[in-house]
Structures are given as C-alpha cells and as structure tokens.
Homo-oligomer: A and B are copies of this chain.
C-alpha cells in the first residue's frame, strides 16, 4: 500500500465489541477505514455496512481474510472461531488484531504461537487494551524508572456493575480475570507460575450458582505475590484499581477516574464509571491507532504489531486454564507453559 492510502480493514464479528471497533475506525482513527465486515448473522453485518461509505459484506470470514482488497484484519468473532481465522491470517500474511482470547484453550494457543514463529514475522497482536491506558502506562513508566525499587506485591481490584445472564464462574476467570493476568505480566515483567482461586460467600445478588466475588492469588517466577478481587455483580461501578508495592515505595492507579467533586447537602460525591467503554475508551482508541500505524509502516519495515503479541495471548490462556482448575479444586495450581525459548521466534534468528 502507499503511504497516503487508508488501510483497508476487515472486521470479523460485529457484536458489541466489533461494532464498537467499526465505529472507532470509521470516526476516530486516522489512516484506516473499514473495507469489509463479516458476521455469523449476515443481516447484522449488512445493516452495519450500509452505514459505512465504501464498506461491503463478505459472508465467509476466510474469504474476507483472503480478500486482496483487505490489508489487515480485526478479529472480534467468538473465541472458538479464532484458531482457524488466525491461522488463515498467518497463511495469507495478513496482520491481525485479535480480541482476547487468542484461542479458547492452551494447546491451540500454543499452536498459533508456533505457526507464527515458523513464519518469521509477527502478524498477530492481541487486544489487551489496558497496556495503552494512560494511567497504566504512567504506572509502568514509574516502575521502570526504578523509583519504587523492584516490585514485591501487586493488589488488583476488578469490579463490574453486572454481567450477562449466561455468565458462569469460569467466565469470571477467562473473561474478567484475564485482564489482570495480562496487567500482572505487563507490569511485573515476569510469568505467573501458580494460581489459586478463592470463592468466599457469594453475593446474594449474583445469579444462582455464580461464584462471585472471587479472589485470585498469583505467584510469579521470582516469588512476587499478586492478589485480585474480581467482583462482577456489584451493582455499583466499573472499578479497576491497581496498586504495586515495591521495595522503596508504592503506587496506585484507578481510584478517582472520572470524578468531579460535587458537594450537595451532607455529601461530597462524584459520578463513577459504569462501563468499561467509559473507563477504557481512550485506551481502545490509542490501541487501534497505534496498531493501524504499525501495520501501515509494517509493509515497509516488516514489523506489523505494536503491543501484546501471540505469546502474551498464550501465556494468558495458560494462566486462566490453571485458574479454572483451581476454581474447581480450591487448591493452588501450577501454570503449565512451555519455555519461551523453545519457540523458534522470528526475533531469535
């Protein structure tokens, strides 16, 4: 592609997340447009395409990936479809932004990692948007500055107002806790070696059978401790808070996001965020803009990603698998992962 032409993106899956990305690419992102949309429900894709200038529907996701007028792919399909679609992207050399999860199990995630490694080019970026959130980036920068010394502990809070009716206890691990898994790996710059899930007395407001809240405990390879409260039926707010405790000091983010200080009779208050799009909207914008920029320059430089890669998706899958096992047993479970060095990564040649 030429430098001045807009990147032509195929968005596969236009549920809430995918549709949000279509709007983002169309209205907010510089240098890209949605050229193709695809969804299992064809009518949904068609309705959306009709509102986007120059956008058409391709009914088969693999055709969309192979389409010569598609420069890059954004994968927002359900998890079970990811493996096949990612492998198709690799086959056709198409850069792809894959919403989490990479795939739905550890073995297929590793397979995707290995296939990309054989290719010698990183084409897959995984959609852990928090890495682009200004607060998380400031916290990461502070850690890297050494001002807090090496980290010893990490405390995470992850609260949602509510979850869809079909949400089950394992999904709390795979869909909610997974973000804290990535935050841990990103901030501490180590792998997670074991996981334990504790399920206290459940919230009576949670749907029957849902173990909510959950407390997750991680140990990292060097022996740091991480605890996470995941509580997805608070009825209160979307509240994501992270405190890192280092050898020389501590730092916290996420306490006051979006607050006006209002004083009304007897209370001082502030509206708090209710949705993840409100809390992380800016992070998504930055994530997608930087990915588009990376892909555009990638056709020249050979580097198509600017963020978490397939390995990060594999590692998250391995930790979550251990988490789901612990959810059943209540015991601490060791995370089973291959050594990164065992993967013939393009970087290693």
Q: Are A262 and B142 in contact (CB under 8 A)?
A: yes
A259 within 8 A of B: yes
Q: Are A253 and B249 in contact (CB under 8 A)?
A: no
Cα separation A179 to B26 with both chains bound (whole Å):
32
Question: Size band of the A side of the interface?
Answer: 35 or more
Q: Are A263 and B289 in contact (CB under 8 A)?
A: no
- Give the contacting residue for A201; candidates B138, B155, B222, B250; CB below 8 A: B222
Q: Are B272 and A135 in contact (CB under 8 A)?
A: no
CB distance from A268 to the nearest CB of B (A): 5
CB distance from A181 to the nearest CB of B (A): 18
Give per-residue flags for A34-64: 1 if the beta carbon is below 8 A from chain B beta carbons, else 0.
0000000000000000000110000000000
Q: A213-B245, A249-B265 are in contact. Are A200 and B236 (CB under 8 A)?
A: no
Give per-residue flags for A264-299: 1 if the beta carbon is below 8 A from chain B beta carbons, else 0.
111111111010000000100000010001000000
Give per-residue flags for A1-30: 1 if the beta carbon is below 8 A from chain B beta carbons, else 0.
011101000000000000000000111111
Cα separation A27 to B3 with both chains bound (whole Å):
12
Residues of B near A153 (CB, < 8 A) are 200, 213, 215, 229, 231
Residues of B near A252 (CB, < 8 A) are 260-261
Residues of B near A274 (CB, < 8 A) are 266
Q: Are A262 and B249 in contact (CB under 8 A)?
A: yes
- Give the contacting residue for A251; candidates B219, B235, B261; CB below 8 A: B261
